[in-house]
Structure 1
Amino acid sequence: MSDSALPAPQAEASARRAFAPDWGMRILGILLIAYLFYAASQLDLGLGRFITGLGEGGRFLARMVPPNFERWELLLEGLLESIQIAVLATVVGIILSLPLGLLAARNLAPWWVSGPVRAFIAVCRSLHYVIVAIIFVKAIGFGAMAGVAALVVASIGFAAKLFAEAVEEISMKPVEAVRATGASAMAVLIYAVLPQVASRFVGFSLYQLDSNLRNSTLVGIVGAGGIGGTLFAAFKRFDYDFVSAILLAIIALILLAEVISGRIRAAMR
């Protein structure tokens, strides 16, 4: 029976129920707003400080113009080292992530295998790559090796998780059909699992390469090689025109990598 067919008192009660205020959500919203004001006061956030910062930021940016590319050899050396770090870390990370992702997939591996593997992937994902880079710098010393190791850990935390989720979304009918022929586990992976997820794996790998290119410019700040070390040294010398040149080179590198990866993705469709 529709509300229009109900007696007037019942129709009014039905309307009140349909548009009844959700006091729980309202109270939660008020508490959230109150906490935001409290957190801002504890962190010394204020409009006056922000306006002052705008003025200081304008003077800082003025010192960065025009960019100074006179030391282009030093700039190019740092960029090439960052590219090498990113490529090596991506290749090693993807090679390690592929078997880990297959072992972490709960529709292929038993729980006593997938559980510990997923826990290991979660540990790799839980720490920021800069923190991991600091740990490796302390462990194996300054240089590109620490940066590669840190980004390999970051790649495993990201790529292996996505690989596992992609495998868990596959159709199990081809897997069961190949298994019914008496094929080995490796044959099942090659003929029934990987064909369903190969394009997604390539997409994840390209995205990880983009991410590692950006991250490789930052790990150098903590001594793990790459253009980040050059950038940090320029900041310490107050050499802001050279800082501007480094930042422009990094932006150009990331944009170029984005264009190339986009072309590869389009070619695979």
Structure 2
Amino acid sequence: MPSSPRAKRNPFPTNWPSRIIWAALLAYLVYALSLIDISGERVMAGLGHGANMLGRMVPPDFSRWSLLLEGLLESLEIAILASAVGITLSLPIGFLAARNMMPPWVSWPARTLIAICRSFHPVIVAIIFVKAVGFGALAGILALIVASVGFIAKLFAEAIEEISLKQVEAVRATGAPFGNVIIFSVVPQVLSRFVGFSTYQVDSNLRNSTMVGIVGAGGIGGTLFSAFQRFDYDFVAAILISLIAVIMAGEYFSTWVKGVFK
């Protein structure tokens, strides 16, 4: 008795398009590796240099604690000010970018602004502001404000687009004005996520304040870069340990804030 066509059907058919894509990616990976100057000798030499550098970092030198503290405080000030202004600007921009709350002629310009802010790394933006306003903390604050708007406003908009419109329609049915609709129907649904996004951005700006300082935008980054240039690795270790301590403190603070708004 001949088997039915259903019995002969392969339950796991070959996905040729997927295989072709993976084969192309693998071929490109091999091609890219062939263009990069990677060799066993270079890797072994790098490991030796790295071990030598780590050896010179021990013990860390905290004798210049005043210089270290000054740089850390400036980085902290840059991160907090940039986060406060960036988050404040991101709230209305994110709301304007939400396609379920705004018409296309409003949401698309807002989304374009967000995309522009996200197009460049904070270090590149910091270089631009250093050229515009000069060296110092102001350039770092402006650069991190741009980075904050690009990241937070996008997440705010996506969070608003995921809310339940039933609550919005219920508040509108009471005849409430537009501002009350936002306060009583939109904000309660996204408040906890807004707090989480904001605390993460503060933590991110704490890290980025070090990077922008390397290009002259204030903070501990300039001190760290100078220490590397002088091969002062024991002081580099002290700076890195201090940065880790600040980031960990920020992480505990973020966890506490999230717990308060749960």
Q: Which residue of 1 aligns with 2:175?
A: 182
Match of 2:233 among 232, 237, 240: 240
Q: Which residue of 2 aligns with 1:208?
A: 201
Tell me whether 1:172 sits opposite 2:165 in the alignment: yes
Q: Which residue of 2 aligns with 1:129?
A: 122
Tell me, in whole angstroms, the C-alpha distance in 2 between the residues paired with 1:131 and 1:156.
16
- Compare CA radii of gyration and give the structure with the larger one: 1
Q: What amino acid does structure 2 have at the position aligned with 1:57?
A: G
Tell me whether 1:249 sits opposite 2:236 in the alignment: no
User: Could you tell me whether the CA contact under 8 Å between 2:138 and 2:217 is conserved in 1?
Assistant: yes
Shift of 1:9: 6.4
Tell me, in whole angstroms, the C-alpha distance in 1 between the residues paired with 2:89 and 2:180.
20
Q: Which residue of 2 aligns with 1:8?
A: 3
Shift of 1:45: 2.2
Q: Which residue of 1 aligns with 2:149?
A: 156
Change (3 A) 1:10 1:179: closer
Change (3 A) 1:11 1:111: closer
Q: Which runs of 5+ in 1 are unaligned?
A: 1-5
Aligned length: 262
Instruction: Provide TM-score, normalisation by structure 1.
Output: 0.93
Structure 1 ranges of 4+ moved more than 6 A: none
Tell me whether 1:91 sits opposite 2:84 in the alignment: yes
Q: What amino acid does structure 2 have at the position aligned with 1:63?
A: R
Q: Which runs of 5+ in 2 are unaligned?
A: none
Tell me, in whole angstroms, the C-alpha distance in 2 between the residues paired with 1:259 and 1:236.
33
Tell me, in whole angstroms, the C-alpha distance in 1 between the residues paired with 2:92 and 2:221.
32
Tell me whether 1:144 sits opposite 2:146 in the alignment: no
Instruction: Provide TM-score, normalisation by structure 2.
Output: 0.96
Q: Which residue of 2 aligns with 1:55?
A: 48
Shift of 1:160: 0.4
CA deviations over 1:111-170 (Å, ceiling 9, x no partner): 100000001001101111100000000000000000000000000001000111111111
Tell me, in whole angstroms, the C-alpha distance in 1 between the residues paired with 2:7 and 2:42.
53
User: Could you tell me whether the CA contact under 8 Å between 2:195 and 2:261 is conserved in 1?
Assistant: no
Tell me, in whole angstroms, the C-alpha distance in 2 between the residues paired with 1:129 and 1:123.
12
Identity between Structure 1 and Structure 2 (%): 62
Shifted more, 90-99 versus 191-200: the winner is 191-200
SS of match in other structure, 2:102 = coil
Q: Which residue of 2 aligns with 1:196?
A: 189
Q: Considering only aligned residues, what root-mean-square deviation do their CA atoms show, in Å?
A: 1.5
